[in-house]
């Protein structure tokens, strides 16, 4: 049996992720109390289900903090378990709840909405530590669906090296293990011809290829990752996220993410994501 657990902060897109898994052929259960997970798995195994997706979050109450213990017990039975943890910046979550006018699950008439979000993040810290993160702060539903589909297809026996471009003006990604700042490099944005393009377009690539400082920084970042990557592999890490940021997340960071992904794809399982281009 293959089990995908979806968790994360309220308003971060868990329903979209679970629906994507359902469309991919998983039998899905939403809002399962954490203490019922072992019973559910036992019953579904007996019924012959092979691909299961379960959403568990703070709606489970205090039992959600026992989820890591349940996951370890299930893994010892020989099941393949993968955890997808969705999160977002507090400002984005507050905005989503304000727009939908829904109550936060932890709302008690005393805590403010930002306080509920902060408390929820604290309660889920133990699950956050064991899951593959997706920061949905500025992510549209279609982009999230695409990223979840990528997650399903990964070879779980190998470390996945994820390169993500972003714009500092929209905040640093919450899911980054390393963050590199390339804003000191010449910015194609100030060239009227290059401004509407992205770091995947040939004209921008040629511009940065011909910039000595960009090539030196690329070599430094590449060598840093190459030097320390074996340590993360030896530590049995499943994912390592390297975020590259420029001002708007359109030109320089995209160029770096693409080039680094191309370089390491010959040796590692690699994903590349462009946050500001995803929409």
Per DSSP, the three-state class of 99 is helix
pLDDT number for residue 175:
86
Q: Looking up tokens 């593959």, which residue turns up?
A: 132
Q: Looking up tokens 């340590």, which residue turns up?
A: 231
Confidence (pTM): 0.83
pLDDT number for residue 154:
83
pLDDT number for residue 279:
60
pLDDT number for residue 237:
85
Q: How far apart are CA 160 and CA 93, in angstroms?
A: 28
CATH 3.40.50.300 maps onto the chain at 2-153
Q: 2-153, which class in CATH?
A: alpha beta
pLDDT number for residue 209:
98
Parallel, antiparallel, or unpaired: how do β-strands 2-8 and 239-246 relate?
unpaired
Instruction: Kindly give the confidence (pLDDT) of every residue in the chain, 279 residues in length, as a single tens digit, with 9 standing for 90 and above.
Output: 889 999 999 999 999 999 999 999 999 999 999 999 999 999 999 999 999 999 999 988 878 888 999 999 998 888 889 999 999 999 999 999 988 888 999 998 899 999 999 999 999 998 988 888 999 998 889 999 999 999 888 887 789 999 999 999 999 999 899 999 999 999 999 999 999 999 999 999 999 999 999 999 999 999 999 999 999 999 888 889 999 999 999 999 999 999 999 999 998 999 999 999 986
Nearest to 276 by CA among 234, 235, 246, 241: 246
Query: DSSP 3-state helix, strand, coil percentages of the chain (rounded to 5)?
Result: 50, 20, 30
> Is the Cβ–Cβ distance between 156 and 82 less than 8 Å?
yes
pLDDT number for residue 138:
85
């Amino acid at each position: 049996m293959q089990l995908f657990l979806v968790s994360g902060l309220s308003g971060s897109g868990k329903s979209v992720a679970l629906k994507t898994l359902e469309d991919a052929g998983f039998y899905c259960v939403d809002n399962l109390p954490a203490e019922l997970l072992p019973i559910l798995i036992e019953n579904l195994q007996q019924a012959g289900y092979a691909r299961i997706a379960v959403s568990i979050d703070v709606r489970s109450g205090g039992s959600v903090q026992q989820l890591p213990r349940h996951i370890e017990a299930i893994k010892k039975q020989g099941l393949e378990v993968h955890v997808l943890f969705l999160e977002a910046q507090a400002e984005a979550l507050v905005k989503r709840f304000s727009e939908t006018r829904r109550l936060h699950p932890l709302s008690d008439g005393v805590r403010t909405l930002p306080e509920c979000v902060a408390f929820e993040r604290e309660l889920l810290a133990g699950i956050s530590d064991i899951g593959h993160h997706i920061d949905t702060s500025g992510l549209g539903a279609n982009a999230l669906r695409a990223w979840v589909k990528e997650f399903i297809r990964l070879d779980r026996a190998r470390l996945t090296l994820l390169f993500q471009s972003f714009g500092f003006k929209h905040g640093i990604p919450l899911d980054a293990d390393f963050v590199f700042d390339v804003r000191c490099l010449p910015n194609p944005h100030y060239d009227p011809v290059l401004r509407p393009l992205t770091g995947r377009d040939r004209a921008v690539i040629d511009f940065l290829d011909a910039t000595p400082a960009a090539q030196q920084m690329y070599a430094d970042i590449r060598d840093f990752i190459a030097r320390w990557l074996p340590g993360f592999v030896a530590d049995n890490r499943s994912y390592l996220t390297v975020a590259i940021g420029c001002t708007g997340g359109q030109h320089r960071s995209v160029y770096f993410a693409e080039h680094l992904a191309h370089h390491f794809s010959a040796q590692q399982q690699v994903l590349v994501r462009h946050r500001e281009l995803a929409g």
